[in-house]
Amino acid sequence: TAAMYEESAAPPAELLKTCWSCRVISGGGLVLAGAYVYSAATKVMRRGGPASMGLVAQITFAASLAAWGIVILTDPVGKSHRVGEDPKT
């Protein structure tokens, strides 16, 4: 039975390509994490705190988290072929 499981199990890289709910959960979680980090950074600025290098790094990290989530949600890998062209070739 172990051999049958190994043959049917998809590699982890293929799992995100075929599992829509996995992509929605992980991509949405990253976008929400980016929003949380951004809101924590802007809370300091709203209180009148100075814009330090740490704050800029925090906002940059929030933007990169959100961008990574969007990339996972949209899944652009393998979609750069022309219309009517076989993507496998």
Per-residue pLDDT of 26-77, as tens digits, reads 999 999 999 999 999 999 888 887 788 999 999 999 999 999 999 988 877 7
Residue numbers of the domain that contains 55: 20-73
pLDDT at residue 9 tops 90 = no
Report the C-alpha gap between 17 and 7 in whole angstroms: 18
* Residue 31: predicted pLDDT: 96
Give a yes or no: residue 24 inside a domain. Answer: yes
Closest CA to 26 of 73, 76, 74, 79: 73
- Alpha carbon distances (Å) from 86 to 65, 74, 75, 78: 33, 20, 18, 11
Give a yes or no: residue 35 inside a domain. Answer: yes
Number of domains in the chain: 1
Predicted TM-score (pTM) of this structure: 0.68
Give a yes or no: residue 66 inside a domain. Answer: yes
